[in-house]
Structure 1
Amino acid sequence: MRKLRIRKRSILLWIIALVFVASVGASFYFFHVAQIREEKSFINNKPRPKDSSLYTYEQSFDQLTKETRWMTNQGLKQDAWYVPAATETNKTAIVVHGFTSAKEDMKPYAWMFHELGYNVLMPDNMSHGDSEGQIIGYGWNDRLNIVKWAQLLVEENSDSQITLFGVSMGGASVMMASGEENLPKQVVNIIEDCGYSSVWDELKYQAKAMYNLPAFPILYEVSAVSKVRAGFSYGQASCVNQLKNNTRPILFIHGSEDYFVPTSMVSKNYRATKGYKDLYIAKGAAHAKSFESDPKTYIETISAFLQKN
């Protein structure tokens, strides 16, 4: 009987050990999927089709004069395009792209701001495009680059009036930047399109949607890996918490049919901010498709917000 109990205990310990090893291995795998720089099979980064309503804006942007700018922040060289306005102005929009995207994908948005009379700065986020880095920061590390880009603009022109604009992860990035004390006062307003409420909320949603996995224990483990490898945990990287410190006017945009970053997340972000706020829900629009689904209303909504703020 005693030998049988010892044997059962030994088997149980082996099972626990195997489950632990499998769990740790899975956490490193999912960290790689989520945060290591590489092509992601679940993200469509194909060129914008010619029948897209934004294709003509993209082509128009290609006719503009642009210059490449560089800076070093967080130990990594960061790249951006700068497009001067047609007429000299103090107004500049910093236009921030999404997950596994790049500044090139923001051409229609940059063209929109150019048409509205703005200079446009289009950075590549850390570990994207021509910027250095191998670990994706989901906006949390990128927020510090946005602050630095804004500071550099102010060094050039202390009378700058800066708008932060971002789509998806870029939207999260500008919301996360909003709560930083050293964000220059010359940042006068913010526009975010389909950003998530926190990295934890988004990856918890994706774990269920893509893999049918609960948050416990995998997401907790992956978050711990991120804390070691990327410098932040998923709960720490929160737009909601950052927006609680924001007093700048902000326009929230989200598609009503967004099933990648659920539309419900915009409500959390909207409630959190302290400053003037406005909300545009694009009827029938999927993730990051609010502009494409109705360009006229999208531009009019942003133009009215900018004129008011």
Structure 2
Amino acid sequence: MKIESNRKITIAASDGIELVGHYYERKKNAPCIIFIHGLWSNCYTNGVPIYRITEENGWNLLLVSLRAHGESGGNVSTLGVLEKYDCRDWVNWVVSEYGEQTPIFLMGISMGGAVTLMSSDLGLPESVCGIIDDAGFTSLLEMIKANSKEKIHHKILSDLFTQFANVGTKIWGGFDLKEANACVAVSKTSVPVLIIHGDKDKQAPVSMAYKIYDSCKSERELYIVSGSEHTDCYRSNPEKYESIVSEFLKKHIPTN
């Protein structure tokens, strides 16, 4: 990603944690895409595809750092439990800064994708026109279960491991992973959703993409990339990826 003039934004999350993002303004009153990176990654590495897409189309871009990542504050990642509210806080910042007439889109990859989906039923402003999820999971509990099954090869032990994982986050992290479920959220949303997923994804199995798609009650699209592993859909076919994402965004930008 090349260096481009941007504005550093700092907001306070609902629980007081300082969140940091960088705003790239290409054109006043243009749509704004809020991008959220994956767990233990960063917005600059994960955000290359949407950076290129927004730059080419003259759209504005807000790259944000998850809590406990990058420039943002916090010592604990709650794996979607609080991050979904942080996502809504970023939406509210765009609305307060640029007005309700500015079209807003949410996009995330891996946990960032799951977070955008989890935020979809939080009463987002009507100016949120669409959500793009790349390689997101249904819930972290289901992902832990799926990954432990592959390693443990025993259903009962896998179920116990998943339960212990949630107990651990409650005791040491102070949060309940059951509160972060993308399928539950999209079953209540009216925001259009684009789901992108690789059919060789071992971390978040492609079955999760189908489950999210089937749960979603709003207008939705599904793009499965053959042979692609976790978060590798863009590298598998950059031109096709950019086309799918661009067309979804253009389709849902209000014309009036």
TM (norm. structure 1) is 0.76
Please tell me the residue identity of whatever aligns with 2:190.
Answer: T
Task: For residue 287 of structure 1, give the secondary structure of its aligned residue in structure 2.
Answer: coil
Partner of 2:12: 72
| 2:30 maps to 1:90 | yes
| 2:122 maps to 1:180 | yes
Partner of 1:164: 106
Task: For residue 241 of structure 1, give the secondary structure of its aligned residue in structure 2.
Answer: helix
Q: Does the CA-based 8 Å contact 2:43-2:63 persist in structure 1?
A: yes
Q: Does the CA-based 8 Å contact 2:107-2:133 persist in structure 1?
A: yes
Q: How big is the shift at 1:231?
A: 4.1
* In 1: Cα distance, 2:76 partner to 2:152 partner: 22
* In 1: Cα distance, 2:221 partner to 2:107 partner: 14
Partner of 1:236: 179
Partner of 2:219: 276
* In 2: Cα distance, 1:244 partner to 1:124 partner: 27
Instruction: State, as a whole percentage, how many aligned pairs show the same letter.
Output: 27
Task: For residue 279 of structure 1, give the secondary structure of its aligned residue in structure 2.
Answer: strand
* In 2: Cα distance, 1:111 partner to 1:299 partner: 9
Partner of 2:76: 135
| 2:98 maps to 1:123 | no
* In 2: Cα distance, 1:231 partner to 1:110 partner: 35
Q: Which moved more, 1:233-242 or 1:147-156?
A: 233-242
Q: Does the CA-based 8 Å contact 1:254-1:263 persist in structure 2?
A: yes
**1:92–1:287 CA distance, 2 compared to 1 (3 A):** same
Please tell me the residue identity of whatever aligns with 1:76.
Answer: I
59, 77, 81: which one pairs with 2:22? Answer: 81
Q: Which moved more, 1:187-196 or 1:230-239?
A: 230-239
* In 2: Cα distance, 1:269 partner to 1:303 partner: 21
Partner of 1:252: 195
Q: Does the CA-based 8 Å contact 2:135-2:198 persist in structure 1?
A: yes
| 2:168 maps to 1:225 | yes
242, 246, 249: which one pairs with 1:306? Answer: 249
207, 231, 235: which one pairs with 2:148? Answer: 207
Q: How big is the shift at 1:88?
A: 2.3
Task: Work out the number of aligned pairs and report it.
Answer: 247
Q: Does the CA-based 8 Å contact 2:191-2:218 persist in structure 1?
A: yes
Q: How big is the shift at 1:211?
A: 5.5
Partner of 1:196: 137
Q: Does the CA-based 8 Å contact 1:166-1:191 persist in structure 2?
A: yes
Q: How big is the shift at 1:122?
A: 0.7
Where does 1:20-59 land on structure 2 (aligned, <5 Å)?
58=1
* In 2: Cα distance, 1:218 partner to 1:106 partner: 30
Q: How big is the shift at 1:222?
A: 2.3
Q: Does the CA-based 8 Å contact 1:95-1:110 persist in structure 2?
A: no
Q: Which moved more, 1:94-103 or 1:136-145?
A: 136-145
291, 301, 304: which one pairs with 2:234? Answer: 291
Q: Which moved more, 1:226-235 or 1:290-299?
A: 226-235
* In 2: Cα distance, 1:200 partner to 1:110 partner: 31
| 2:144 maps to 1:144 | no
Please tell me the residue identity of whatever aligns with 2:88.
Answer: V
Deviations 1:37-91 (A, max 9, x none): xxxxxxxxxxxxxxxxxxxxx2xxx232112111111221111111111x32330
RMSD between superposed Cα atoms in Å: 1.6
Q: Does the CA-based 8 Å contact 2:200-2:206 persist in structure 1?
A: yes
